[in-house]
Copies of this chain bind each other. A is one copy, B any other.
Amino acid sequence: MGGKSGFVPPLELRPQPHTRCAECHVRALALFKGVPEEHLEPTQRFRSAQLVVAPQGRIYLEGEPNPNYYTLYEGWVMLYKSLGNGKRQILRFALPGDFLGFQRDVNGPMTHSAMAMTPVTLCCFPKEIARDMFAASPDLATRLASINARQYELCELHLLATGRKSAIERIAFLLLELFHRCRALELTQGNALQLPIAQEDMADATGLTPVHVNRMLRQLREKGMIDYRDRRLVVLDGPAMATLANFNQSFVEEAALL
């Protein structure tokens, strides 16, 4: 189960932060799509910075304050909550374009942790600047609310799956969700997808154990629905998977595109 023992590589700020960090925002991030350039300027003028984090590196930790928001530019990030006994629940996998660090109690301790699963590039900017930006651009605030609402609905979907679906259905659902989100970002090769996550991570995302995840992957393989070796997923029978998992493709696709 959870609890990778405590190695946490320090966060590294690039020595020479991008001068035009907004470019990655505008290019990659739904949040800023179509927002007038002048509303973004403050981000640049103050101390926006690009952050690079190695795999296993923590971006922020549950229970600790965190002064920044982040837009994920490249790589995979997992957001998770921990229980005292070492158990862990992955809340979601963040992909390029996602917005991280937002929570209701802006200045309070974070309610979850964020860890890089691959080498990760983030644009980070202080919350007070973000606040000014949101104040200056109601459109931006609306966008943020919309993004958050969608994440919320995705969380509800996961709650439904975890509470009321069998192990094999949950795994099928997770794989389909990741596949379709990645396809929308053009991170797939045909019907194949290289995943950066261990089976233990799938377990922590679905509420199962690593051993049982392994068994379910084998079952899906034996049913001819997927191929899975060396973390490379090939979806062989998407429709059958979708039926099995009660998976509605449209929802997740929208979610990625926003």
Contact = CB atoms under 8 A, between A and B. Distances in A.
Contact of A156 (B87, B102, B112, B206): B112
A163 B89 contact: yes
Given A81-B160, A142-B141, A246-B84, A149 B104 contact: yes
A204 B160 CA distance: 10
Interface residues of A, number: 40
Interface string A200-244: 000010110000000000000000000000000000000000000
Contact of A152 (B81, B84, B155, B162): B155
Contacts of A102: 149
A8 interface: no
Interface in A164-178: 164-165
Contacts of A206: 163
A150 interface: yes
Interface of A: 81, 83-84, 87-89, 91, 102-105, 111-112, 138, 141-142, 144-146, 148-153, 155-160, 162-165, 204, 206-207, 246, 254
22 contacts: A81-B156, A81-B157, A83-B164, A83-B246, A88-B164, A89-B159, A89-B160, A89-B164, A91-B156, A91-B159, A102-B149, A104-B150, A138-B138, A141-B145, A148-B149, A152-B152, A155-B155, A155-B156, A155-B159, A159-B162, A162-B162, A163-B206
Given A104-B152, A158-B159, 20 more contacts: A81-B156, A81-B160, A89-B159, A89-B163, A89-B164, A102-B149, A103-B153, A104-B149, A105-B254, A111-B156, A138-B138, A141-B145, A145-B145, A145-B148, A155-B159, A159-B162, A162-B162, A162-B163, A163-B204, A164-B207
